[in-house]
Structure 1
């Protein structure tokens, strides 16, 4: 019995909560980050749109960290947001085989960052994803975020309650049902956390932005 086909829920609407101001410094430097690396030689084969489930992300933080995250303020009620749009290499031997940190870019202006807060409600995330991933395929941040927003808003998203409580199989089937006939099973990955709650949904696309197998 399908309990998910009738209703869809999308957090990426034309309006959303916005902070009154952003913190003054949110530029990203991969060289100053532990565990970061650069791979400018890898050739992009396909794209992966990574969608993060805000309730699980926020629950993974300490109370003090949640109190500092606009995304996690209880009154804002963010659900599925864009984690990033990632250039990928087919059949990569490991995560370091994918393109990453291809250019150092200046801090994006606050007006631009707020423009995309409905899909990515954190200035550090907006800046970091552009520098870590976007620079490896796109000439400008506007190109990167225009495509990321378009892909996200083109998806039919299952209702909030299903994403919050459903199993990986139920969530994947919901995406497939709501996005027939074009979305297919190998183009979708659903990651759950150690508590059995949704962590991320990953959707793969070819370089023409049609659904593709996550290789």
Structure 2
């Protein structure tokens, strides 16, 4: 199964849940993303897809001072960009426990492709990574692959996440709120992940081979619905952020694992 994307019209500018975003005049350099011993090439049939989105405020609490996160987190050189949920990527899933990855070698993405998608996935290197590791397994071109992922992402509606920022909540409550804002998407069609210290990290939506939302398979990851979590509030440039301090704790993304 490959993505039938050749005729998909590309968006003029793919947008994340961006409170503000302007692509910088000069993009940071990117480097090739290659398979290695820990993440080898795997040529496997596709059984479905995962659409992964990141709660950017949480990422930025621990990574704001890193030069590589300047654009994503509105730091120096970031142009004041601020995001809510941003697009991590579209991942082909396997039929069994493993998934295809790094299916063929690929050159660096052209500047135009990076610019078109940077306000959806606010990291040029992450865009290169997602195409090399996941997109090359879809039988598509880079532009068509990103058009599909940003198209899916762009149709999602997000609840007011600041409502969760004044105390603890549960994984199930977050999933239910997102489901309520998106008719046809139920809470069991997504997996919510958290950091090691219990903060909302990502939401992974389960898709079938036709890119329709579907119930997630048992044991496919994510925290249990009853798990208690907290939600970092979006950065407010006019005041100090309550309840979470920059660099306050180590934060491990789910994609530090093999699924990244």
- TM-score band, normalised by the shorter chain? 0.7 to 0.9
Distance 1:196 1:129 in 2: 26
Gaps spanning 5+ residues in structure 2: where?
Answer: 1-14, 218-260
Distance 2:42 2:165 in 1: 35
Higher helix content, 1 or 2: 1
Gaps spanning 5+ residues in structure 1: where?
Answer: 1-9
Pairing 1:10-159 to 2, within 5 Å after superposition = 11-12=16-17, 16-31=21-36, 35-40=38-43, 42-61=44-63, 64-65=65-66, 68-74=69-75, 75-92=80-97, 97-159=98-160
Q: Mean Cα displacement is larger for which, 46-55 or 185-194?
A: 185-194
Distance 1:43 1:82 in 2: 24
Q: Encode CA deviations 1:24-80: one digit per residue, 9 max, x unaligned.
A: 33332234xx7322101x11110100101111122233x642575310125311111
Query: Does 1:176 find its partner at 2:179?
Result: yes
Match of 2:131, SS state, is helix
**CA offset at residue 160 of structure 1?**
3.7
Equivalent in the alignment of 1:205 = 207
Is contact 1:167–1:198 with CA below 8 Å preserved after alignment?
no
Is contact 1:164–1:197 with CA below 8 Å preserved after alignment?
no
Q: Encode CA deviations 1:153-175: one digit per residue, 9 max, x unaligned.
A: 11111224146565322210111
TM-score of the aligned structures, taking structure 2 as reference length: 0.69
TM-score of the aligned structures, taking structure 1 as reference length: 0.82
Distance 2:16 2:203 in 1: 14
Distance 2:91 2:142 in 1: 13
Match of 1:113, SS state, is helix
Distance 1:106 1:65 in 2: 26
Q: 1:192 to 1:164 in 2, by over 3 A?
A: farther
Is contact 1:56–1:197 with CA below 8 Å preserved after alignment?
yes
Distance 2:45 2:150 in 1: 23
Is contact 1:167–1:197 with CA below 8 Å preserved after alignment?
no
Match of 1:45, SS state, is strand
Distance 1:86 1:111 in 2: 22
**Number of residue pairs matched by the alignment:** 197
Distance 1:170 1:186 in 2: 12
